[in-house]
Amino acid sequence: MQSSHRNLTQQLVHELGTNILAGKYSADDAMPSEADICDQYGISRTATREAIKMLTAKGLISSRPRQGIKVLALKHWNLFDSDVLSWILTGKPDLKMLRYFLQLRLAIEPEAAYLAAQYASPEALKEIESALARMQQATNGYDDSHEADIEFHKSILRASNNPFYQQLQVFIETALKVNIRFTNRMKAVTEDEYQAHVTIFEHIKNHRAQAASDAALITQKATLAIVDDKLNKLKK
């Protein structure tokens, strides 16, 4: 178990969480009992149980007398929990997972742009604009373009003025990171991509909600189409 600034319980949560997401305990009954975990990691039952409770709260496992600890089915997992999302990222997501992410981004982001155009505060607008500026600098090599890209998408969610959309920031961030990993570009964001982002921002700034939504939709559809295509070819 890696040493760290975090306490024992949190370290164990992280360790077991990554293992579960990596499918290490998929053999159904392969999840160790409380006592096993204590032995294996050399820590007390107190810390172990608290870690187990945290994973239970995130929907990853169940823990009952005599039955022991079991990894639950995927449908019980809190997939929008930021820890769970970070563990997905650790666990080598495949193309299918990328498609799942894109399919939800396609729903979320255009509507978030719509809401941002309606409700964004001046401060929220400034945040979007500053992320955009960082992207431009990055095309000149002065900044990390992908980081700025992520910040742009997150700032629109914040501008939506809706706590549910705001909560989805980590989801979108993870989706973008998975996407970046697959497109495998060491290269920065292209000029075309940057211009598409500028268009979205201009529409938001000028309160053209439907136009902002449409502009966001187009990019999403294009990206998803490419991945759908790849997956269809793989099937053959």
Partner DNA sequence: ACAATACTATTTATAATACAAATAAAAACA
Partner DNA sequence: TGTTTTTATTTGTATTATAAATAGTATTGT
**Contacts with its own copies, 161-180, as mask; x by CB under 8 A:** -xxxxxx---x---------
Buried b (16+ CB within 10 A) or exposed e, 67-85: eebebeeeeebebebebbb
Q: Which stretch binds DNA (CB under 7 A): 33-41, 79-87, 158-166, 171-179?
A: 33-41
CA 168 to chain centre: 8
Question: Is-contact 120 204, C-beta < 8 A?
Answer: yes
Please tell me whether residue 169 adopts helix, strand or coil conformation. Answer: helix
Choose which of 33, 40, 121, 190 interacts with DNA (CB under 7 A). Answer: 33
Residue 203 CB neighbour total at 10 angstroms: 22
Say if strands 61-64 and 68-71 run parallel, antiparallel, or are unpaired.
antiparallel
Q: Does 46 bind DNA (CB under 7 A)?
A: yes
By C-beta, is 12 or 204 nearer to DNA? 12
Q: Which stretch binds DNA (CB under 7 A): 41-49, 102-110, 144-152, 218-226?
A: 41-49
156 binds, among its own copies, DNA, none (CB under 5 to 8 A by kind): none
Q: Does 78 bind DNA (CB under 7 A)?
A: no
Q: Which two tokens stand for residue 24?
A: 């290490």
Q: Does 35 bind DNA (CB under 7 A)?
A: yes
Q: Does 47 bind DNA (CB under 7 A)?
A: yes
Please tell me whether residue 31 adopts helix, strand or coil conformation. Answer: coil
Size of the site for its own copies (CB under 8 A): 40
214 binds, among DNA, its own copies, none (CB under 5 to 8 A by kind): none
Contacts of 54 (CB under 8 A, 6+ apart): 9, 13
Q: Does 67 bind DNA (CB under 7 A)?
A: yes
Q: Does 4 bind DNA (CB under 7 A)?
A: no
Contacts of 160 (CB under 8 A, 6+ apart): 112, 115, 116, 119, 120, 166
Minimum separation from the CB atom of position 188 to its own copies (A): 29
CA 98 to chain centre: 11
- List of residues contacting DNA (CB under 7 A): 7-9, 33-35, 43-47, 49-50, 52, 63-69
- List of residues contacting its own copies (CB under 8 A): 9, 13, 46, 49-50, 53-59, 74-75, 77-83, 100-101, 103-104, 106-108, 110-112, 115, 160, 162-167, 171
